[in-house]
A and B are shown apart, each in its own frame.
Chain A
Amino acid sequence: VTLLSFATRFHRLDEPPHICWDETHFGKMGSYYINRTFFFDVHPPLGKMLIGLAGYLSGYDGTFLFQKPGDKYEHHNYMGMRGFCAFLGSLLVPFAYLTVLELSRSLPAALLSAALLTFDTGCLTLSQYILLDPILMFFIMAAMLSMVKYNSCADRPFSAPWWFWLSLTGINLAGALGVKFVGLFIILQVGWNTISDLWHLFGDLSLSVVTVGKHLTARVLCLIVLPLTLYTATYAVHFMVLNKSGPGDGFFSSAFQARLSGNNLHNASIPEHLAYGSVITVKNLRMAIGYLHSHRHLYPEGIGARQQQVTTYLHKDYNNLWIIKKHNTNADPLDPSFPVEFVRHGDIIRLEHKETSRNLHSHYHEAPLTRKHYQVTGYGINGTGDSNDFWRIEVVNRKFGNRIKVLRSRIRLIHLVTGCVLGSSGKVLPKWGWEQLEVTCTPYLKETLNSIWNVEDHINPKLPNISLDVLHPTFPEILLESHMVMIRGNNGLKPKDNEFTSKPWHWPINYQGLRFSGINDTDFRVYLLGNPVVWWLNLLSIVLYVLLGSIIAIAVQRGAHLPAEVEGLSQVLLQGGGQLLLGWMLHYFPFFLMGRILYFHHYFPAMLFSSMLTGILWDTVLQLCAWSLASPFLARGMYAAGLLSLLLGTAYSFYLFHPLAYGMVGPLAQDPRSPMAGLRWLESWDF
Chain B
Amino acid sequence: MLGFLERPVVVTADINLNVVALTAVGLLSRLWQLAYPRAVVFDEVYYGQYISFYMKRIFFLDGSGPPFGHMLLALGGYLGGFDGNFLWNRIGAENALITQARLMLLESVLIFFNLLAVLSYLKFANSQKQRPFSLRWWFWLTLTGMACSCAVGVKYVGVFTYLLVLAVAGVHAWHLIGDRTLSHVRVLCHLLARAAALLVVPALMYLLFFYVHLTLVCRSGPHDQIMSSAFQASLEGGLARITQGQPLEVAYGSQVTLKNVFGKPVPCWLHSHQSTYPMIYENGRGSSHQQQVTCYPFKDVNNWWIVKDPGRHPLVVSNPPRPVRHGDIVQLVHGMTTRFLNTHDVAAPLSPHSQEVSCYVDYNISMPSQNLWRLDIVNRESDTEVWKTILSEVRLVHVNTSAVLKLSGAHLPDWGFRQLEVVGEKLSRGYHESMVWNVEEHRYGKSQEQKERELELHSPAQMDVSRNLSFMARFLELQWRMLTVKSDDSEHKYSSSPLDWVTLDTSIAYWLHPRTSAQIHLLGNIVIWASAGLATAVYALLFFWYLLRRRRCIRDLPEGCWLRWVLAGALCAGGWAVNYLPFFLMEKTLFLYHYLPALTFQILLLPVVLQHVADHLCRSPLLRSVFGSLVVAWYSCACHVFNTLRPLTYGDRSLSPGELRALRWKDTWDILIRKY
Contacts and interface: CB of A to CB of B under 8 A. Distances in A.
Given A444-B493, A558-B184, A593-B585, A498 B432 contact: yes
A474 interface: no
Given A202-B552, A500-B432, A558 B178 contact: yes
Interface string A579-599: 000000000000001010000
Interface string A362-377: 0000000011100000
B282 to A, nearest CB: 7
A549 to B, nearest CB: 14
Nearest to B435: A500
B326 to A, nearest CB: 14
A559 interface: yes
Interface string B420-459: 0000000101111010000000000000000000000000
A431 B282 contact: yes
A444 B491 contact: yes
B177 A557 contact: yes
Nearest to A203: B551
A372 B490 contact: yes
A519 B490 contact: no
Given A557-B177, A559-B180, A498 B262 contact: yes
A105 to B, nearest CB: 29
B284 to A, nearest CB: 13
Contacts, number: 58
A277 to B, nearest CB: 35
Contacts of B490: 370-372
A197 interface: no
Contacts of A496: 409
B178 A370 contact: no
Contacts of A512: 429-430
Residue among B406, B430, B434, B548 having the largest count of chain A Cβ atoms under 10 Å: B430
A431 B413 contact: yes
Nearest to A502: B430
Given A497-B264, A497-B265, A558-B180, A205 B553 contact: yes
A559 B179 CA distance: 9
Contacts of A558: 177-178, 180, 184, 187
B638 interface: no
Contacts of A631: none
A199 B548 CA distance: 9
B262 A205 contact: no
Contacts of B406: 498
B85 interface: no
A686 interface: yes
Interface residues of A, number: 28
Contacts of B184: 558
A557 B178 contact: yes
Interface string A507-534: 0000110000001000000000000000
Contacts of B429: 500, 512, 686
Contacts of A337: none
Contacts of A593: 585
Nearest to B283: A431
A684 interface: yes
A554 interface: yes
Interface string B171-191: 000100110100010010000
A202 B180 contact: no
B427 A519 contact: yes
A628 to B, nearest CB: 22
B375 interface: no
Contact of A498 (B178, B180, B407): B407
B587 interface: yes
Nearest to A595: B587
A558 B179 CA distance: 7
A558 B180 CA distance: 6
Contacts of B552: 202-203, 205, 209
A498 B427 contact: no
A497 B409 contact: yes
Nearest to B175: A557
B430 A554 contact: no
Contact of A557 (B174, B262, B282): B174
B270 to A, nearest CB: 15
A375 B490 CA distance: 16
Interface string B476-501: 00000000000000110100000000
Contact of B551 (A199, A499, A554, A684): A199
Interface in B289-323: none
Contacts of A199: 551
B408 interface: yes
A371 B491 CA distance: 10
Interface string B397-408: 000000000111
Interface string A547-567: 000000010011100000000
A498 B431 contact: no
A265 B413 CA distance: 41
Given A512-B429, A519-B427, A595-B587, A372 B491 contact: yes
Given A444-B491, A500-B430, A202 B177 contact: no
A209 to B, nearest CB: 8
A593 B264 CA distance: 23
Contacts of A498: 262, 264, 406-409, 432, 434
Interface string A401-439: 000000000000000000000000000000100000000
A407 to B, nearest CB: 28
Interface string A481-502: 0000000000000001111100
Contacts of B187: 558
A608 B552 CA distance: 39
Interface in B243-266: 262, 264-265
A188 to B, nearest CB: 16
Interface string B532-549: 000000000000000010
Contacts of A202: 548, 551-552
B409 A554 contact: no
B259 to A, nearest CB: 15
A554 B434 contact: no
A557 B178 CA distance: 5
A92 B552 CA distance: 41
B640 to A, nearest CB: 30
Contacts of B180: 558-559
Contacts of B265: 497
A191 B187 CA distance: 36
Contacts of A497: 264-265, 409
Nearest to B668: A446
A558 to B, nearest CB: 6
A451 to B, nearest CB: 11
Contacts of A557: 174, 177-178
Interface in B143-188: 174, 177-178, 180, 184, 187
Nearest to A682: B430
Interface string A669-687: 0000000000000001010
Contacts of B432: 498-500
Interface string A186-211: 00000000000001001101000100
A370 B491 contact: yes
A366 to B, nearest CB: 12
A554 B177 contact: yes
A431 B283 CA distance: 10
A499 B409 CA distance: 9
A543 to B, nearest CB: 20
A180 B231 CA distance: 45
Contacts of B409: 496-498
A209 B409 CA distance: 65
7 contacts: A203-B551, A209-B552, A372-B491, A443-B493, A498-B262, A498-B264, A557-B174
Given A499-B432, A684-B431, 10 more contacts: A199-B551, A202-B551, A209-B552, A370-B491, A431-B282, A443-B493, A497-B265, A498-B264, A498-B409, A498-B434
Pairs A-B, 9 closest by C-beta atoms: A498-B409, A500-B432, A498-B434, A557-B178, A203-B551, A500-B429, A684-B430, A557-B177, A559-B180
